[in-house]
Amino acid sequence: MKFIFFWFSLNKNLQLLLPNFSDLSKNEILARVLSEKIEFQYRSKILFVPWERKTNFLLGKIWRKSSKILSSFEDDDFKDTKSDHYPHSTIIFNLSENYQDDRWHIIALEDKKEVFQNALNTMDKFEKELNKNLSEYGYAISIYPRTNERNFWKYVQRHKDNIQKVTFTYSVPNFLNIKNSLTEDLNEASKDISITNTTVVLENKNAPLNISEDNDYIKQSAEYTTKGAGEYKIKVKWVRAEYSSENNIKTFSIDEIDVEWISEEWLKNLFNKS
């Protein structure tokens, strides 16, 4: 089985004047929302169903309604019968609050093409539906894929003479264990003007745009976004499609296991690969 990793942050929406839920932690609020079935639409009906909680891990399943036409031969004639079935994937939320480790607040989603062709689009729809429910508590969730920073720099090096534009989108405030001037600025902006996401575009239409590891801002932005606290896009001259976080998602393949036998130790080992 193959898992795709995402990072999520839960932020207060200060624009909502709602009852005070200060007696609940962020994790308790998210766990409460995820304790109910959540239905959303992406090409067909999709249903999130909570399954089990193991200390800091919340397990669920994402089901998709699908139909098949079954043919049979009866009474000297072929007959077609429509049959509904519900393929599903396992989804696991790591609710750990270990601030010394950037592997906390991670989602592991089992990648099954029979359930969804595009995991990113599915998670985007799921995020929107989650936010409808979280708004009752005055919170909003942001979900981004975790990517490999080395691949970001490999792509930059390969196309360094033709880079026209780099776009960084940051999720704020900074909940990862990253301490640098960028995260300090983002946290201050979050407090001052109540932002949850911000986008910066660096552009030189004539190319090349100088994207270097020697530049602290670029280096910090690459680290921040590739760990899942945002996303990036790179536009190269003569290349129609932008290279982005979506092209570089962290995955991990593991031997098939009956989900009924998943243990906390197995879960810890899985998220250590994120």
Question: For the purposes of burial, counting CB atoms within 10 Å of the CB of 199, is it exposed (0-12), middle (13-18) or buried (19 or more)?
Answer: exposed
- Given a cut of 80, whether residue 37 has pLDDT beyond it is yes
Within 10 angstroms of residue 18's Cβ, the number of other Cβ atoms is: 11
Q: Are 116 and 89 in contact (CB under 8 A)?
A: yes
Q: What is the pLDDT of residues 151-206, one digit of tens each?
A: 889 999 999 899 999 998 887 654 444 455 555 555 565 555 555 677 888 888 88
Distance CA 138, CA 141 (A): 11
Claim: this prediction has a pTM higher than 0.85: no
Tokens matching residue 232? 């990036």
Measured N-to-C along each axis, helices 119-134 and 26-33 cross at an angle, to the nearest 10 degrees, of: 110
Distance CA 203, CA 252 (A): 34
Q: Are 1 and 110 in contact (CB under 8 A)?
A: yes
Higher pLDDT, 179 or 47: 47
Average pLDDT over all residues of the chain: 78
pLDDT score of 260 = 67
